[in-house]
Structure 1
Amino acid sequence: MTNFTSNSKFYKLFFCSLIILFGSCSSDEGKDESGTTPEVNETLHLAFKTPDWERYINCDRLDLFPNAVNDTTYTVSASSESTRETFYFSYPKDSSKIVKAKILSKHKIMEYGSNNEPFQFSQKLPLDGNSIDDTTKRLVSSEGQSDTEYNQVVAVKYLKSESNYAVFRVQCKYEMKTYLINTPETIKKITGTFAFKVRVSKK
């Protein structure tokens, strides 16, 4: 069983984002058929698929607490101990806003760590399964929004109330272009899904 630890990382816009290490499971996420309503597993997870490798990461133990990016947006971030994948996901601070999220709406993919509006997604991960410990071989997301660059909100569900927060599960499907840090001309397409449990301010 993978051990779970936590540390912290400074957010690009001088905000501190919580980095929580979470474990990987062995199963792979199924591929969605194009032209159909996207289906995303309700189980808390993050899945990615590149031309060179793919993983489905179990996020059941991932306990994310938000950090404010601006007056309207929270961000959460975490890193996988087993795959070295790191993500940033942003969403509305206000619970009244997240419940009004337009299902199947598409949002911008951001340069890694640069999220500044709700429902944006960015990530960094190794080039392939053999590069996990080689920090010079990292793919990072490029900013963009098009038919092949997006983060799509598939479902939002209220889960429970806490003293300071309302807790929701957000399910998304994404496609993005990434580049290799040391050789930016190397472009890789990544597709995947995720379902995260997030906290928003009560209203």
Structure 2
Amino acid sequence: MSGGITAMAVTRWWLIRHAPARTAPGIICGSSDPDADTGDRAATAALAGALPAGALWLTSPLRRSRQTAQALWHRSPRLADTAVVEPALAEQDFGDWEGISHDRAAARDPGAAALFWSNPARHAPPAGESFAAVMERSGSALRRLTGLHGGRDVVAVIHAGPIRAALALALDLTPEAALRLRIDPWSLSRIDHYAALEGDGTAGEGSWSVGGMNVRPGTF
């Protein structure tokens, strides 16, 4: 049983899309695992300087997520030196289309490609997952982690899909609407959760606000 409400908790989510993946232009890269190109020193410095010390850091299991976090720590050791790996915040799995272009996918399986593009928010590629499924798993993870870490800063170095899902959670967007959101590499988005902090240290249901979306280095 709860120990009673003790305070108001503001949980601040700092959502970072990883540095560009080292892939050829036009190649589908969701659950596949290329390295990140973290050589943009100006972007690394600007982003590191905008982030709070003492935050909980999260990454996905994918290399480009973890390597981006490490680049930020190297630039500013005050931030952190370790992160919790959260599988639910991984990028969308494009199944049989991983590592090829959409043109090649359409040529190889025109029926599946036509179905996918009829509603890319809700149809999954062959052996993959839909963006709606990404929203469901990512939204559940955000609610769970917000409850566990109420009142903290949480820095999540993740992917475009889960960041769109987080913004959709805060804004009550449908999957179709969330796919319209542009999320660039190295960008920062910010959502805050306001809730009563219970006596056991967990945050209640509360409400969300959006402080910024797809903010690029140099404009923080």
By the TM > 0.5 criterion, same fold? no
TM-score class normalised by the smaller sequence: under 0.3
Relative to its length, the structure with more helix (as a share) is: 2
TM-score, length-scaled by structure 1 = 0.28
Larger RCO (CA under 8 A, 6+ residues apart): 2
Relative to its length, the structure with more strand (as a share) is: 1
TM-score, length-scaled by structure 2 = 0.26
